[in-house]
Structure 1
């Protein structure tokens, strides 16, 4: 059976661009652990299909069909100078106007009820670590949608008399979407930039972000100021914001150098969440105090399939066309009729 030029091109493009299946085994995740008050916890693996998603190396992020069970290894560390008992458990979380909000104590929700941590308790000498497994078992009748929870590591700090002086916990967030395929896409737009001054008098910019996709956002941003008074430019400054639920809007604030003059400046903005980035530019002038005038960001789209992939696609397409044309000329020269 002969393939037409169009068929060959379509086959090559599908081979290069196709994403890995979510059923593949996890890979190592080596980002720094979260910790504090004597205990730390770190995710040790992430899905292969999310290898280029920075969030998946820190949090439990996945899209799972109903009936799926996954395990994620975590490391728990006693960062105190005394032996301690660490309790491990899942609990509820949600995303609202205040970002990612944790439930009180061991409050449960739908996702946390699907989760378990084994073992549920570890005894650790000072500075020592142990592995545990966080399991997520999605029921066969689970409905589509994204859910949120936390896998917690909790310790008590006793007083010399034995009473509990403080209870501390650190955790790994879980963002689990239920549905077929790769799940709903992560998508957002950056709409406005607003110059302002903090209570200390330092300049800052507030970036308006609209979550137009089906997954929660954890945005971070880089702001670069150029074209300032006397041709001044400033070093790029980074900032991060609270989680933004699907369909909601939020603001990411980036604090800047207190020595910067009022402006005007050209502010180049790059906002990233997971594997998606958006860029924009606007003119801003910082007020003497409070909030200044908002400006619409002239945005450009970034993210999706990397540019180098399309270069490879173009190369393969050119080769495929050349092969097909050569074959056709040889067939015509031989007098063969199909």
Structure 2
């Protein structure tokens, strides 16, 4: 019985798949870009997807991206650096031409590519930090962009690789964060949700990923961890909310909840006992109202018919 309950809970707690690791603004019309020169000993998924480097003032760093054409047509691809920032728990990118320091320090060897269907091209990327640059972290992206010239309106699509460049001398800064207490609530749609406030206490930006595990529920039910839907990006000194939505049919609890979060080498977890509020009844609207009361109406009609038949029989008997 407990085994069946555990399987049921696993189904109830099925999470939403994690988002794309790349800084993609919109579907790239069959164009792809990825970091190509990832050392084999790099274990962090973050550093395998993004350019994460510390560079001293006056120094430079070289990396390589791979641009690919996955469409069925020959494409002309523009490759260029762009600006980015971190706001509201998200890595936000700027429109082309709205540059920052990092975009100005970054250059690509090939600014325009002509790629046949299925073709790939390695593009070296150079970031040169001026000698008078102030310490601190900067954000940007290397973009691969295509323009659809066949449609009536101009459509531009681009995909990119994020840049996290920390300017400073000495040892590599150590990222860190703290997690505030867990909270259980419901969304406006009635879905149970677990939230926590995460504060970036280190000198580098964080891309927080992780999962929630619920155990010790009603009847001893437990389930596999449910992942965050997408990474939450937090700038140094800032805080952001981490939230994981679960399915509506999840029992209210109580549950033994453990939230495990990490970004690169920084990892923390927090545990708490959570009970979700009861879901509010969903009001019946419009034409569905009659359908909702149909069983009651049928019962009332049957009762009324029975009473009418009984009355008619009694009247018939009284005439005899």
Tell me the TM-score range normalised by the shorter chain. 0.7 to 0.9
Q: 1:144 maps to what in 2?
A: 135
Assess if the C-alpha contact under 8 Å between 2:197 and 2:240 holds in 1: yes
Q: Secondary structure at the match of 2:104?
A: helix
Q: 1:37 maps to what in 2?
A: 29
Q: Secondary structure at the match of 1:235?
A: coil
Q: 2:156 maps to what in 1?
A: 167
Query: Which of 261, 274, 279 is the equivalent residue of 2:264?
Result: 274
**Cα distance between partner residues in 2 of 1:84 and 1:217:** 35
Question: How far is the alpha carbon of 1:118 from its aligned partner?
Answer: 1.5
Instruction: Determine if the alignment matches structure 1 residue 198 to structure 2 residue 187.
Output: yes
Q: 1:87 maps to what in 2?
A: 78
Q: 2:304 maps to what in 1?
A: none
Instruction: Structure 2 unaligned segments of length 5 or more: list them.
Output: 1-19, 281-320
Q: 2:148 maps to what in 1?
A: 157
CA distance 1:248–1:242, change in 2 (3 Å): same
Question: How far is the alpha carbon of 1:47 from its aligned partner?
Answer: 6.2
Assess if the C-alpha contact under 8 Å between 2:181 and 2:270 holds in 1: no
**Cα distance between partner residues in 2 of 1:188 and 1:271:** 10
Query: Which of 97, 100, 110 is the equivalent residue of 2:91?
Result: 100
Name the stretch that deviates more: 224-233 or 33-42: 33-42
Q: Secondary structure at the match of 1:104?
A: coil
Q: 1:323 maps to what in 2?
A: none
Instruction: Determine if the alignment matches structure 1 residue 287 to structure 2 residue 277.
Output: yes
Task: Note the alpha carbon deviations across 1:180-238, whole angstroms, 9 max, x for none.
Answer: 12333201011122222234433221121010000001000111001111111122111
User: Superposed, which structure 2 residues align to 1:101-116 within 5 Å?
Assistant: 101-116=92-107
Q: Under a length normalisation based on structure 2, what TM-score does the superposition of the two structures give?
A: 0.75
Task: Note the alpha carbon deviations across 1:229-258, whole angstroms, 9 max, x for none.
Answer: 111112211113321010010111122233
Q: 1:251 maps to what in 2?
A: 241
Question: How far is the alpha carbon of 1:164 from its aligned partner?
Answer: 4.9
Assess if the C-alpha contact under 8 Å between 1:156 and 1:164 holds in 2: no
Question: How far is the alpha carbon of 1:280 from its aligned partner?
Answer: 1.1
**Cα distance between partner residues in 2 of 1:92 and 1:256:** 35
Q: 2:69 maps to what in 1?
A: 78
Name the stretch that deviates more: 183-192 or 109-118: 183-192
Name the stretch that deviates more: 63-72 or 98-107: 98-107
Q: 2:303 maps to what in 1?
A: none
Task: Note the alpha carbon deviations across 1:95-122, whole angstroms, 9 max, x for none.
Answer: 1225211112221100110001110010
Assess if the C-alpha contact under 8 Å between 2:28 and 2:146 holds in 1: no
Task: Note the alpha carbon deviations across 1:280-327, whole angstroms, 9 max, x for none.
Answer: 10011112359xxxxxxxxxxxxxxxxxxxxxxxxxxxxxxxxxxxxx
Instruction: Structure 1 unaligned segments of length 5 or more: list them.
Output: 1-30, 291-338
Assess if the C-alpha contact under 8 Å between 2:86 and 2:92 holds in 1: yes
**Cα distance between partner residues in 2 of 1:47 and 1:139:** 26
Query: Which of 252, 260, 263 is the equivalent residue of 2:250?
Result: 260
Structure label with greater radius of gyration: 2
RMSD: 2.1
Q: Secondary structure at the match of 1:230?
A: helix
Assess if the C-alpha contact under 8 Å between 1:38 and 1:155 holds in 2: no
Q: Under a length normalisation based on structure 1, what TM-score does the superposition of the two structures give?
A: 0.71
Assess if the C-alpha contact under 8 Å between 1:40 and 1:170 holds in 2: yes
**Cα distance between partner residues in 1 of 2:119 and 2:153:** 22
Assess if the C-alpha contact under 8 Å between 1:196 and 1:289 holds in 2: no
Assess if the C-alpha contact under 8 Å between 2:28 and 2:145 holds in 1: no
Q: Secondary structure at the match of 1:111?
A: helix
- Number of residues paired by the alignment? 257
